[in-house]
Structure 1
Amino acid sequence: MDFTAIDFETANSSRSSACALGLVQVRAGIITAEHDWLIDPQQRFDGMNIAIHGITPSMVRGKPTFHELWPTIEPLLQGEIVVAHNASFDMSVLRYCLDGASLTYPNFQYLCTYLLGKKILQDLPSHKLNVISAHFGITLKHHDALDDARASAAILLKLMEQEQQNDPLLLAGSQGYKSGKMYAGGYSAFSAPAKKPLKKQSAKAKTPVIKRTSTTVPHNTYEF
């Protein structure tokens, strides 16, 4: 039950505008370390984003840029199983920030608690972080980067407990998902294998054809 949960907040609609990061380390099913940083995105702040997370330009003034902070963050992600709620967003923020700073991608596998929750908790009306947190009785200050990362970690632990799994990767596999990966030079998404499309029947094949070789028609002589 070892993994690391993360959550990014952004200054605007650009995925390269990370202004906060929360990171929670879990070892043997217990949170052992928590980290959070304000980041100077060196970009404008949109009012909508400020309204969501409450972070303003004055709050990040003098804080490290992503490039400056990366030597601290990288060892906490390298080789880990990384977890995020709606991981496609957080992983894209990480990639855009790395690309913008001309930094090499780290190597790790990652899971998405949103997709896992959607598969496992099908009776819930929504699978947003606050809804699943409320379902499990997890306290949450939504859109606080550290609190969101903490909630993601707690949700994964609850899902593992419910499904009687003690390994995050085995939990994902049991639900038909393949872990996402980030590695030097590229990445792959957390996803379920694509279903094979059904073969279209030809017009000729739509009507059963019976081949008779005797008065008794064996079952396997029908062609569809």
Structure 2
Amino acid sequence: MDGPRPGDSSGVEPVGVRRMSTGEPQEVLERLRRHLQERGTACELEGLASRYLHTQDADLGGRILGALLARDGRFEVRNGLVRLIRIPDPYEAEEVERVPFAVVDFETNGMVPERAIEIGLACFEGGEEVEAFETLLDPGTPVAPFVQRLTGIVPADLAGRPTFGAVWPELEQRLRGRVLVAHNLAFDRRVLLQELERLGLGEPLGEPAFCTLRFARKLIPREEGRDLDALAERFGYEFSARHRALDDARAAGRILYRLV
């Protein structure tokens, strides 16, 4: 969060409230959502502010968190309490074979600020891939050497490629009406939301979402491995280009149907 804090007209950062980096508010809200979901009941706003904003000023922290929550339709703040608003899931009673999935994977620059350098999207229905989308992106930043080694994507590959803003309308069209899926959804959703934030957009998708990594952790012992490589080996999926966005998305999609 940049600029003066609420209630601080001097422009000086209040004592006891640390400044959050770009994208961090979304991470805080996601952790808070999981906390409320696990508790199954409303929680005090100021207590949540102390826990998730690490503030020593309960009143100021409550106002800051309240402002964040007011922009997110998943939460309701009333009488100093925060509760989750249950969003109806249109797929709740559907058999998995009838649910349309959009499996997404991002490769990023490995730098600060974090930027997407490749998007892969594989859409599945009835256990079969019905549509795919992939593109490299020009992040306008360097690419960390370890990312270049891991993915094989070098800066020359990104020169002249479209920006995220240029491809977002096409990507949004493919995401709309489908359940968003990723292996480590917290990471891929964070990258997506950070890119949308730079475009001045909020979270436009109200679709349900599913994390194959979190689901695998419930089903498979830790020692047997739950990362994408371990699951691909377990279910007999062979990568054609590991650590490239579309191939990783396709792997996550195939793994999804084996898990459910």
- The verdict on a shared fold, with TM-score over 0.5 as the criterion, is yes
Structure 1 letter corresponding to 2:245: A
Shift of 1:154: 0.3
Which residue of structure 2 lines up, in the alignment, with residue 60 of structure 1?
158
Matched, 1:79 2:177: yes
Shift of 1:79: 2.8
Matched, 1:149 2:218: no
Shift of 1:8: 0.1
Shift of 1:124: 4.5
Which residue of structure 2 lines up, in the alignment, with residue 112 of structure 1?
211
Which one has a larger percent strand, Structure 1 or Structure 2? 1
**More displaced 10-residue stretch of structure 1: 105-114 or 58-67:** 105-114
Shift of 1:14: 3.9
Maintained 8 Å contact 1:15/1:93: no
Matches within 5 A, 1:184-199: none
- 1:140-191 deviation digits (Å, cap 9, x = unpaired): 232111110000000001112xxxxxxxxxxxxxxxxxxxxxxxxxxxxxxx
Shift of 1:13: 3.3
Structure 2 letter corresponding to 1:27: E
Matched, 1:12 2:110: yes
Structure number with greater Rg is 1
Shift of 1:88: 0.6
Maintained 8 Å contact 2:127/2:257: yes
Which residue of structure 2 lines up, in the alignment, with residue 3 of structure 1?
101
Q: Structure 2 unaligned runs (5+)?
A: 1-96
Distance 1:128 1:13, change over 3 A: farther
Maintained 8 Å contact 1:77/1:106: no
Which residue of structure 1 lines up, in the alignment, with residue 57 of structure 2?
none
Shift of 1:48: 1.2
Distance 1:40 1:59, change over 3 A: same
SS at match of 2:166: helix
Distance in 2 (CA, whole Å) between partners of 1:105 and 1:123 is 33
Distance in 2 (CA, whole Å) between partners of 1:38 and 1:153 is 20
Q: Structure 1 unaligned runs (5+)?
A: 161-224
Task: Return the structure number with greater relative CO, CA threshold 8 A, min gap 6.
Answer: 1
Which residue of structure 2 lines up, in the alignment, with residue 122 of structure 1?
221
Shift of 1:15: 6.4
Maintained 8 Å contact 1:118/1:127: yes
Structure 1 letter corresponding to 2:177: G
Distance 1:26 1:73, change over 3 A: same
SS at match of 1:63: coil
Maintained 8 Å contact 2:143/2:155: yes
**More displaced 10-residue stretch of structure 1: 105-114 or 7-16:** 7-16
Distance in 1 (CA, whole Å) between partners of 2:236 and 2:145 is 31
Identity, % of aligned pairs? 32
Distance in 2 (CA, whole Å) between partners of 1:136 and 1:29 is 14
Matched, 1:159 2:259: yes
The equivalent position to 1:138 in structure 2, one of 212, 237, 258, is 237
Question: How many pairs are equivalent?
Answer: 160
Shift of 1:85: 0.4
Shift of 1:43: 1.1
Maintained 8 Å contact 1:8/1:20: yes
Structure 2 letter corresponding to 1:113: T
Shift of 1:78: 1.9
Distance 1:14 1:92, change over 3 A: farther
